[in-house]
Amino acid sequence: MKKFLLFAFAVATMYTATSQTTIFSENFSTGIPGTWTLINNDGHTPASQVSFVNAAWIWDNNQYIGQCALSTSWYSPAAASDDWLITPSIIIPSGSTNVLLLWDATAASSQYADGYELKIATNHGNTISDFTTTLFSVAHEHAYWNTRSLDLSSYAGDTITLAWRNNSNDMELLAVDNIKIKSNVPNYNLQHTAFDSYIYMRPNESNQLTGDIYNLGFQTVTGFKLNYSTNGSSTVSATINGISIPPYTSYHYTYPNNFSPSSVGGYNLKMWASDINGSFADSDHSNDSLTRFIQAISNNVNKRPVMEEFTGAWCGYCPDGNLKLAGAVSGLPALIPVSIHSQNGGGASADKMNCTEGETRVNTYSIGFPSGILDAVYYLDESDVAFDRISTSWTDNSWLDKANFRMPMASPANVSLVNKTYNTGTRQLSVTVRADFLANVTGDYRLNLYLTEDSIVGSGAGYDQHNYFSNSSSGGSAWSGSPYASLADPVVGWAHNHVLRKAIGGAWGDAGIIPSTVTSGSNYTKTYSYTLPQTWRENYVSLVGIVEEYNSDYKYRNILNAEEAKLTGTVGIEPVNRDNFASVSVYPNPASNLLKIGFELKENSTLIAFVTNALGQKIADIYNGDVNTGEHTLSWYTENVANGIYFVTLKTETSEITRRFVVNK
C-alpha cells in the first residue's frame, strides 16, 4: 500500500460528489485476505533469486514497492507463469452508473517486465474455467507504479469476480495494489495538485510555469483550458490539447507562454483549469486552483551556490557522484561542495561519517545514491528537488550544467562570515554568519552554519569506498577510461572530501532571527559557538555560512546564498602583508586530489585566481569575479594534473600574491 496513492485516493474522496460510492476496496495493507483465491496453475519452481515467492501470489512489504500482492514468472528452468489472484464476489448494485474499476500495477524490472491479463466472471465463480471474458491485457507492465482503469458500468446489477493472471514467460516480478471499484463517479473533475515556478526573478526575466493536474473524473481528459491571473487581474488563458489523462492519473503541464514580471515587487499567481474536453464544466470547483508567490528583485549579489551530494561509503555507484561533484566545482569554482553521508539503514558499518542533520536532509530529498541538490531548488526540468547522476559515460556531467544554470538566477541576499575565533587548545569555535539583504522580500528566512571536513581517510567498513566501477567489481559497471576502473572494490584509503560533519543550525536553519518581511539594506546575524570533537582534524575543516528559506513544502526550502571559509591555519599558510589580503593559505599541501585556497579580503574587490606550472605556464583559471570583504575559500581539483610543483596566484585591483603547492597522488 503506497502512501502517495493512498493520499491521492483520500483527496479524491474528500472532493468528489457525495453520491459517489466505493463498492469495493483492497490495499493489501496487512496481507492478502483469506477471502481471496490464489491458484498456482503452472506448478513451476521459482528461481533462487525470487524463491521467497512461494505461492501463486504472496503479500510483500518492502521499501521499494510497499505493501502489495506479488507474483513471479522467473522460474528454474525457464517457463511460462500461470498464476491467478481472484477477488471474492463483488455485488455491483442495480442502477449504478459510471462504475469505475481502478488498480495499480508495476513490474520489478524494465528489462524483464511481466505482463498479465485481467478477467471477469459473472457466475459467482472462483475457478479458472469461470473466467471466460478478458477485460484487459498487457504484454509488459511499466517498471513504475501506474494506475489502470476500466469501465464496469455494463455490469450494474451483477455479482462479479475479478482475476489478475500473470501469464509472463521468464520475466521477473509483478505487483498489484490499491484495487477499487467506484460508482457514480462524476464525468469531469480535475484536481490541481501542483503549481510550480522559480520563486525569485528579475524584472522582465522569463519564468516557466509548470504543474500537475489529476483526473478524478470518469471520462478520459483529452484537453482543457489552463488559466492564470496575477494579483487578481484579468485572466490569461491557453488551451492544452492532444493529451490523454485516463481516470485517476496525473498530467504534468508546462504553460505554453512564460511569465515575465514587469517590475520589482511581489506577484501572486493563481492557476486553474476549465473547459474540460472543449466545453464541459468541472463538477467540483473546490480543487481547481492553486497559487504561487513570485518575487521580482533587482540586484547583483555575489552568488555562491551550495551543491549537496548524497553519498555513502557502502554505495558502489557513489564514486560517480564524487566525480560529478568534482567536475561541477572544477567548472564553477564559486560552487560550494557538501557531501552528505548516509548509513541508509545499514548502521556504522555502512558509513561512519554521517550526521543527524545530514540524515534528515537525505530522508527529505534523496531519490537514491548518488543524487544531489543545488541550493535545494526545485528545477522545473526535474521531477523532484534532487537530481540523479544520469550518466552514460564517466565524462558526462549534468551537475555542472545545473550549476551553470543556477549561477545567474536572482537572489535577495549576500552572506559573509565575520568575527571568527578558534582556540586550538579548547577547540572552541565562534563565528558570526551575516546576511545582507539587497531587496524587499517576504518569507521564513533562516541562518545556518555547516561544518565540513576534507580528506577523511579511515580504516575498514564505513570508510573504505565501495566501487562498482572497478574492473574487478561484481557490480560490472566499469566504464572505459574511468578514473575508478583501475581501482579496487572497495577502495582502501579513499579520501572523503567536503563531508558534512555538523549543521549547527539544524537541518533547516535557525528561525526567529530574520523577520518575515525584510527591507532592502537590512542585515541579520547569528553567532555560532561549537567545540570540535577531537577526532576532527581542524586544519581540514571549513565553515559554510548559509541564508535559507523554510517552507512547509520541501520543494521550496531554498538556500538563497552562502559563503565558505577555512576554520584555521593549515600547512602552507603564510602571513600576508599585501594591502588587500589579510591572509592566504593553500591546503592540504601536498594535495592528492583537491586543493583549497583560503583567503581573507579587507575590501570588496574583483578577484582573479589561476594556477601555473613550474615553467610559469597557466594551466587553469580558478575564479574571475567580484568578492566581498571577509573570508572565502576556493576549491580546485588536481586529479587531471601530474605530480609536481605548482603555483596559485590571487589578484585584486591593488594586490597580488602567489602561493606554492605540491601535487603528490
d(CA 164, CA 68) in angstroms, rounded, equals 13
Model confidence band, residue 478 (pLDDT cutoffs 50, 70, 90)? low
Specify the pLDDT at position 614: 62
Q: What angle do CA 201, 207, 212 make, to 5 degrees?
A: 125
pTM of the full predicted structure?
0.77
What pLDDT score was predicted for residue 14?
33
How many other C-beta atoms are found inside a 10 Å radius of the C-beta of residue 194?
18
**Do residues 196 and 292 make contact, with C-beta atoms less than 8 angstroms apart?**
yes
Query: Omega before 46 cis (within 30°)?
Result: no
**CATH 2.60.40.2550 spans which residues of the chain?**
574-663
Is residue 186 a contact partner of residue 247, using CB atoms and an 8 Å limit?
no
Cell of 420: 571568527
Q: What is the pLDDT of residues 65-81, one digit of tens each?
A: 889 999 999 999 999 99
pLDDT tens digits, residue range 606-620? 999 999 876 567 889
DSSP assignment letter at 491: B
Biggest alpha carbon–alpha carbon distance for the chain: 95
Specify the CATH class of 574-663 in words: mainly beta
Domain 306-566: give its CATH superfamily: Immunoglobulins (2.60.40.10)
Q: Is 644 helix (H, G, I), strand (E, B) or coil?
A: strand
| Residue with grid cell 481502478, as numbered in its chain | 102
Domain 190-296 CATH assignment equals 3.40.630.30? no
Q: What is d(CA 425, CA 428) in angstroms, rounded to the nearest whole number?
A: 8
Judge whether 581 and 654 are in contact, CB under 8 Å. no
Across-strand partners of 239? 225
Q: Which of 148-162, 239-253, 594-608, 643-657 has the lowest mean pLDDT?
A: 643-657
Length of the chain: 665
Q: What is the predicted pLDDT for the residue at 63?
A: 67
Please, what's the b/e burial string for 511-527 (b: 16 or more CB within 10 A of its CB; e: otherwise)? eebbeeebeeeeebebe
pLDDT value, residue 2: 33
- Of residues 522 and 577, which shows the higher confidence score? 522
Per-residue pLDDT, 9: 29
- What band does 581 get if pLDDT is binned at 50, 70 and 90? confident
What is the pairing mode between strands 58-62 and 499-503? unpaired
At 54, which amino acid appears?
N
Cα–Cα distance for residue pair 661/644, rounded to 1 Å: 9
**Contact (CB, 8 A) for 184 and 20:** yes
Residue 7 has pLDDT above 60, yes or no: no
Give the torsion sign (CA, 409, 415, 416, 421): negative
CATH 2.60.40.10 residue ranges for the chain: 190-296, 306-566
Q: Answer yes or no: is pLDDT of 97 > 50.
A: yes
Pairing of strands 90-91, 428-437: unpaired
C-alpha distances out from residue 391 to 112, 124, 466, 635, Å: 22, 53, 18, 24
pLDDT digits (tens, 9 = 90+) for 404-414: 999 999 999 99
pLDDT band at 572 (very low <50, low <70, confident <90, very high): very low
From CA 63, how far away is CA 346, in angstroms rounded?
A: 14
pLDDT at 615: 57
Q: Are 83 and 112 in contact (CB under 8 A)?
A: no
> In the chain, which segments carry CATH 2.60.120.200?
3-183
Architecture of the domain delimited by 3-183 = Sandwich (2.60)
- 62 has a pLDDT exceeding 90: no
Q: CB–CB of 366/373 below 8 Å? A: no
The answer to whether 202 and 410 have CB atoms below 8 angstroms apart is: yes
pLDDT of 297 > 60? The answer is yes
Phi, psi at residue 261, to the nearest 5°?
Answer: -70, 140
d(CA 610, CA 632): 16
Residue 646 has pLDDT above 60, yes or no: yes
Confidence of residue 547 (pLDDT cuts 50, 70, 90): very high
Give the separation between CA 290 and CA 240, rounded to whole angstroms: 18
User: What does the block give as the cell for 352?
Assistant: 561512519
- What number is the average pLDDT over the span 106-111? 92
Contacts (Cβ under 8 Å, ≥6 apart) of 511: 444, 446, 550
Task: Return the amino acid letter for 39.
Answer: I
Three-state DSSP state, 229: strand
Of residues 455 and 437, more confidently modeled: 437
pLDDT, tens digit, 9 for 90 and up, residues 234-258? 999 999 999 999 999 999 999 999 9
- For 419-433, 485-499, 552-566, which range has the lowest pLDDT when averaged over its residues? 485-499
Weakest-pLDDT range from 52-56, 141-145, 432-436, 564-568: 564-568
- The C-alpha atoms of residue 343 and residue 312 are separated, in whole angstroms, by 7
